[in-house]
Amino acid sequence: MNPKFTKKLAIKSIILIGSIAFFSLFPKNPQTTSSNSIAQIPPFDNFPPKFLKPRKPQIQPSPAATPSPKPPEQPLVFAPPAQFRSQIVYKASISNSKVIALTFDDGPSPETLKILEVLQKHNAVATFFCLGRNLREYPEIAKKVVQAGNAIGNHTWHHYYHDVTEKIASNEIDYTGIHIHRSTGAKSLLFRPPGGRLNNGFADYAKKKNYVVVMWSIDTKDFLQPPAAVITRTVLSQATSGAIVLLHDGGGDRQQTVEAVSEIIPKLKQQGYRFVTVPQLLQMQAAQKQPNGDRKPK
List, by residue number, the catalytic residues.
Answer: 105, 248
- Find out whether the peptide bond into 57 is cis, omega within 30 degrees of 0: no
| 8-state DSSP, 263 | H
Burial annotation 202-218 (CB, 10 A radius, 16+ → b, else e): bbbbbbebebbbbbbbb
Helix 110-121 to helix 255-270 angle (10° resolution) is 20
Q: 121 near 271, Cβ under 8 Å?
A: no
Instruction: Please answer whether residues 80 and 212 qualify as being in contact, where contact means their C-beta atoms are separated by less than 8 angstroms.
Output: yes
CA atoms of 121 and 296, how far apart (whole Å): 48
Report the sign of the C-alpha dihedral through residues 35, 37, 40, 44, in that order.
Answer: negative
